[in-house]
Amino acid sequence: MKKMLVFQTDFTYKEGAVAAMYGVVKNVDLDIEIITATHEIPQYDTWSASYRLYQYIDFWPKGTIFVSVVDPGVGTSRRACVAKTKNGYYIVTPDNGSLTHVDRYFGIESVREIDETINRLHREDNGAVSIFHGRDLFGYCAARLASGIINYEQVGREYPVSEIVRHEIAEPVIKEDRIEGMFEINDPNFGNLWTNITLRDFLKAGFRMGDKVHTVIYKRDEVVFDQFIPYYDSFGKAEDHSVMIYNNEINKMGLAEVVGNLCEDYRLSYGSEYKVVFAHE
């Protein structure tokens, strides 16, 4: 049975890059099923690419192959690889930080550098192209792997998992009367913000459903938000345009403006410059 290919990139649909990439896959094997995760990863943002893989990978059938192409270093010496995860998946990607979250939360069993002499598309009219590895390298290699033309060992030479490029992931801190974390990512369509604080740690810190939680947000040590807001399990329990805390789809604590956009209306975003503190009254 052929494996499915699930793609995420920062290409958008504004021009023909996605179509060219999918065309290469179909030229390798018409029967390969292609699924789009997203082509709207923020430009060059390997952190977001890493987080999005972590967000959805574990919901797919074992053996699925994921192709993640957010590649600001395309054409340089950064490695092109296929990683085999401990929970049963393959990820075809530049080794540039995009494996960080999957490695942290699910584990990478092994990783292989793609052998470009056999697993790269070579055409007479594109021999000099170094800027479109999504089409010529990652998509092509993934298609060969999905179709069974090559097996995982034929991707290329294995290299130590310890050499994978990783972003630093901050850990939440539980104190006597509070828990401190950061905003790891946003929900771009609705403007919600997701913290690195797990539901387990939030409950361990003593918070319970219905609590009014003293919530302070810092941007580079400057307070940019300071309110008592409720913790609910459903958006429908809060008033429209109010801010609430909730447990998101991957069991991490999020902030939302109900029927609004927290990021836009409060001028907030995610990243290491943001700290969020949940404290008891």
Looking at the fold, whether 31 and 141 belong to one and the same domain comes out as yes
What lies within 8 Å, CB to CB, of 48 at 6+ separation is 41, 42, 70, 185
Looking at the fold, whether 63 and 104 belong to one and the same domain comes out as yes
Q: What are phi and psi of 137, to 5 degrees?
A: -120, -60
Cα 196 → chain centroid: 13
Q: What percent of the chain has pLDDT over 90?
A: 86
Structure tokens at 274: 């943001």
Looking at the fold, whether 107 and 189 belong to one and the same domain comes out as no
Looking at the fold, whether 177 and 159 belong to one and the same domain comes out as no
Per-residue pLDDT, 176: 86
Looking at the fold, whether 118 and 56 belong to one and the same domain comes out as yes
CA–CA–CA angle 98, 184, 94 (5° rounding): 5
Structure tokens at 51: 């987080």
Structure tokens at 264: 């836009």
168 within a domain of the structure (yes/no): no
CA distance 95 to 111: 10
Q: pLDDT of 44-96, one tens digit each?
A: 999 999 999 999 999 999 999 999 999 887 777 889 999 999 999 999 999 99
CATH number (domain holding residue 91): 3.40.50.10790
Looking at the fold, whether 150 and 179 belong to one and the same domain comes out as no
Of the residues 137, 163, 189, the one at which a domain ends = 163
Q: What is the pTM of this model?
A: 0.91
Cα 263 → chain centroid: 19
Q: pLDDT of 188-245, one tens digit each?
A: 999 999 999 999 999 999 999 999 999 999 999 999 999 999 999 999 999 999 999 9
CATH number (domain holding residue 198): 2.40.30.90
Q: What are phi and psi of 272, to 5 degrees?
A: -65, -20
Looking at the fold, whether 71 and 109 belong to one and the same domain comes out as yes
Q: CA of 135: how far to CAs of 11, 138, 187, in Å?
A: 11, 6, 28
Domain count across the chain: 2
Within 10 angstroms of residue 163's Cβ, the number of other Cβ atoms is 12
- CB contact at 8 A, 70 and 9: yes
Helices (H), 44-174: 46-56, 100-105, 133, 140-147
- CB contact at 8 A, 116 and 80: yes
207 within a domain of the structure (yes/no): yes
Q: Which domain holds residue 261?
A: 173-279
Looking at the fold, whether 181 and 110 belong to one and the same domain comes out as no
Cα 233 → chain centroid: 24
Query: Could you tell me which of 103, 104, 95, 106 has the C-alpha nearest to residue 138?
Result: 95
Q: What percent of the chain has pLDDT over 70?
A: 97
